[in-house]
């Protein structure tokens, strides 16, 4: 926390300095002309967010220029510098001087406009004789009363009229100018600009805060933060939406500060003594190991979460047999075009959102490339057998062999096998028995545990099914490992896949290659900024209104 005594200096008509003192506190102190800045410098030559004062890793106070802004420190243009006593900083037309701190202040900072705009009419004021208000025949008190009445009418009474008249709000909503504009603290955010003229949608009663029901009338699907309704009510009590979501700040978006999250999660066990969640204050220091969501079925809710610290349990049971080591061989793998060296992106392609990857399928990724053809075994035909259904596979085999066998019999040829030669059966019946026999032999070869379908799939023998006595184990591939967080692969495209997911030596599909938290900490830091590292707050990965993903977390507690 920084405690700063800010002294703003102006000059009276005699040129004497007039000081105005203000105590400013915060983890970081913004300087600019935006409404949210703690040190306001109201001049158009100052950016909305011009500079910021914060502590360095060594605990010293520094001032840094924001993106697109310039500051001059002791006569030199710099991006940042320490704030020791006597440091002169030029922000637009204002000169800021760091003075020797006293008392319990960490910093004493004075500001004075040293480059005022030139008065283009100054020569006229010199030539003309001064004119007093009395010389115009006006009374100061009478003029003051008229001005007070006009201000009250325009800026207080008229903006209140729409709340008293049912027809005026409709007229005001369709007009180019709103009579309530004078009450607005600033521009509306982009999402609310369509209703910027309909103030009464949110401000339902004069001089009362915006109620939650006004927000919920539009935002009907906003989820709670805690799945348990009673616990959610006990933790947040009477907290309003507007306490976190501030409007009339234009396009300036302020993410949830770490301090807001740590206020509860830093002492989560005091909030709920039954929770199994640890106390967390900083990503770099006390954030626990990631918990991965392993699929246990085909439903989206069929998952079990396992912490990465329990390494022996990190086994994916996908029902597949797949070797990344073979496919990522530096010498290449056999393909219709010869030995081809594959890369991760040849199979793993980002979805439209750039967050996760499109599902991999046999038809799109393996067959279209020509690498894996689904041929008859033995290869008696150039036709491809269907993929994905044991029943459809058997139907295709029986159809093929029935067609060829019956055709040969019709042409006067002998049956190609000895099956179905029992008495009492005509030629057609014996031909169909022969076809079924050949289909079964071919299927038996395809469903071998170590070849055909068994080369990629787990094969289960079904003893009580005479028509299709084999079953391929269901495929269940995890597509979202970190259910309680969000991660965008597109933002990490500058890094190679193998820097975080090294599967070049993996021979089993059960191997899990999700990076641990230590890998993320190589680039991302928590509360305190570190040079050449990315300062990441809680809201970079976690959402507040995210009850659906928190359900699995609650189930594990």
Domains belonging to the chain, first-starting first, are 2-113 (2.60.200.20), 162-254 (no CATH), 390-472 (no CATH)
pLDDT by residue (tens digit) across 176-215? 455 556 666 788 888 888 888 788 889 888 778 899 999 9
3-state secondary structure (DSSP) of residue 2: strand
Residue 154 three-state SS? helix
Which strand (E) or helix (H) includes residue 214? helix 212-216
**Structure confidence by residue, pLDDT tens digits, 493-526:** 989 999 999 899 999 999 999 999 999 999 999 8
The residue whose two tokens read 């202040």 is: 105
Asked if pLDDT for residue 124 goes beyond 50, the answer is no
Q: Tokens standing for 371?
A: 């690498």
| Residues β-bridged to residue 294 | 304
SS (H, E, C) 231-282: HHHHHHCCCCHHHCCCCCCCCCCCCCCHHHHHHHHCCHHHHCCCCCCCCCCC
pLDDT for residue 551 is more than 50? no
Task: For residues 289 and 308, give the distance between their C-alpha atoms in angstroms, rounded to a whole number.
Answer: 6
* Mode of pairing for the β-strands spanning 88-91 and 71-73: antiparallel
Mean per-residue pLDDT over the chain, rounded? 83
Q: Using a pLDDT cut of 90, give the percent of the chain over it.
A: 31
Strands (E), 155-225: none
Average pLDDT over residues 299-317: 90
pLDDT at position 168 is 57
- Predicted confidence (pLDDT) per residue in 319-362, tens digit: 899 999 999 999 998 887 888 899 999 899 999 988 889 988 88
> How far apart, in whole angstroms, are the C-alpha atoms of residue 220 and residue 29?
36
Paired with 535 in beta bridges are 525
Pairing of strands 107-113, 2-11: parallel
Buried b (16+ CB within 10 A) or exposed e, 84-99: eeebebbbbbbbbbbe
CA distances from 447 to 240, 394, 444, 461, 469 (A): 62, 11, 5, 9, 10
pLDDT at position 169: 54
Question: What local confidence, expressed as pLDDT, does residue 166 receive?
Answer: 58
Least confidently predicted of 17-31, 66-80, 257-271, 276-290: 257-271
- pLDDT-based confidence at 298, cuts 50/70/90? confident
Neighbours of 131 (CB within 10 A): 8
Query: pLDDT-derived band of residue 139, with 50, 70 and 90 as boundaries?
Result: confident
pLDDT, mean of residues 446-460: 89
pLDDT of residue 420: 46
**Which of 171-175, 363-367, 433-437 has the weakest average pLDDT?**
171-175
| Over residues 134-156, mean pLDDT | 79
The reply to whether omega before 445 is within 30° of 0 (cis) is no
Query: Highest-confidence range of 154-163, 178-187, 294-303, by mean pLDDT?
Result: 294-303
Name the burial class of residue 32, with classes exposed (0-12), middle (13-18) and buried (19+) by CB atoms within 10 angstroms of its CB: buried
Q: What distances in angstroms separate CA 414 from CA 40, 410, 411, 428, one per listed residue? A: 100, 10, 9, 12
Alpha helix positions (H), 266-421? 268-271, 324-327, 390-410
Query: Helices in 345-389 by DSSP H: which ranges?
Result: none
pLDDT score of 38: 93
Phi/psi at 419 (5° precision): -70, 150
Note the pTM of the prediction, 2 decimals. Answer: 0.59
Is residue 503 within 8 Å of 513, Cβ to Cβ?
Answer: yes
Confidence band, pLDDT 50/70/90 cuts, at residue 552: very low
């Amino acid at each position: 926390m920084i405690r700063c005594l800010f002294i703003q200096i102006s000059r009276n008509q005699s040129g004497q300095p007039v000081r105005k003192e203000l105590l400013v506190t915060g983890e970081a102190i913004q300087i600019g002309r935006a409404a949210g800045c703690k040190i306001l410098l109201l001049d158009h030559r100052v950016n909305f967010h011009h500079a910021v004062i914060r502590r360095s890793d060594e605990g010293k106070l520094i001032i840094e220029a924001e993106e697109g802004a310039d500051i001059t420190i002791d006569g030199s243009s710099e991006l940042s510098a320490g704030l020791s006593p006597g440091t002169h900083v030029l922000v637009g037309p204002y000169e800021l001087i760091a003075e020797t701190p006293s008392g319990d202040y960490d910093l004493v900072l004075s500001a004075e406009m040293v480059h005022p705009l030139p008065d283009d009419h100054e020569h006229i004021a010199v030539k003309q004789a001064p004119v007093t208000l009395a010389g115009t025949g006006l009374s100061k008190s009478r003029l003051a009363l008229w001005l007070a009445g006009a201000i009250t009418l325009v800026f207080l009474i008229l903006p209140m009229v729409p709340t008293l008249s049912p027809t005026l709000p409709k007229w005001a909503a369709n007009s180019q100018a709103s009579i309530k504009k004078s009450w607005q603290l600033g521009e509306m955010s982009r999402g609310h600009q369509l209703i910027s003229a309909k103030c009464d949608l949110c401000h339902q009663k004069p001089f009362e805060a915006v109620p939650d029901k006004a927000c919920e009338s539009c935002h009907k699907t906003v989820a709670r933060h805690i799945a348990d309704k009673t616990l959610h009510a006990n933790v947040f009590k009477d907290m309003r939406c507007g306490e976190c979501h501030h409007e009339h700040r234009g396009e300036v978006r302020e993410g949830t500060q770490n301090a807001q999250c740590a206020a509860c999660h830093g002492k989560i066990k005091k909030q709920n003594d039954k929770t199994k969640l640890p106390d967390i204050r900083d990503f770099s220091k006390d954030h626990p190991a990631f918990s991965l969501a392993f699929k246990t079925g085909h439903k989206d809710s069929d998952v079990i979460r396992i912490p990465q610290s329990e390494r022996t349990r990190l086994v994916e049971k996908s029902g597949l047999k797949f070797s990344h080591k073979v496919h990522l061989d530096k010498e290449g793998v056999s393909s219709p075009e010869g030995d081809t060296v594959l890369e991760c992106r040849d199979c793993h392609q980002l979805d439209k959102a750039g967050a996760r990857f499109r599902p991999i399928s046999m038809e799109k990724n393996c067959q279209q490339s020509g690498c894996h053809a689904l041929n008859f075994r033995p290869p008696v035909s150039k036709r491809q057998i269907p993929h994905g259904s044991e029943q459809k596979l058997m139907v295709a085999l029986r159809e093929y062999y029935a067609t060829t066998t019956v055709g040969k019999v019709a042409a006067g040829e002998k049956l190609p096998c000895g099956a179905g030669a029992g008495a009492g059966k005509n030629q057609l019946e014996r031909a169909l028995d022969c076809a079924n026999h050949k289909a079964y032999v071919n299927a038996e070869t395809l469903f071998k545990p170590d070849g055909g379908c068994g080369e990629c799939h787990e094969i289960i023998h079904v003893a009580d099914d005479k028509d299709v006595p084999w079953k391929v184990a269901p495929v269940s591939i995890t597509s979202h490992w970190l259910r309680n967080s969000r991660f965008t692969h597109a933002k990490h495209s500058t890094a190679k896949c193998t820097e975080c997911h090294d599967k070049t030596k993996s021979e089993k599909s059960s191997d899990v290659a999700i990076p641990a938290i230590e890998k993320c900490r190589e680039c991302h830091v928590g509360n305190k900024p570190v040079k050449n590292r990315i300062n990441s707050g809680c809201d970079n990965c976690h959402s507040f209104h995210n009850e659906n993903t928190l359900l699995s977390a609650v189930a594990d507690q």
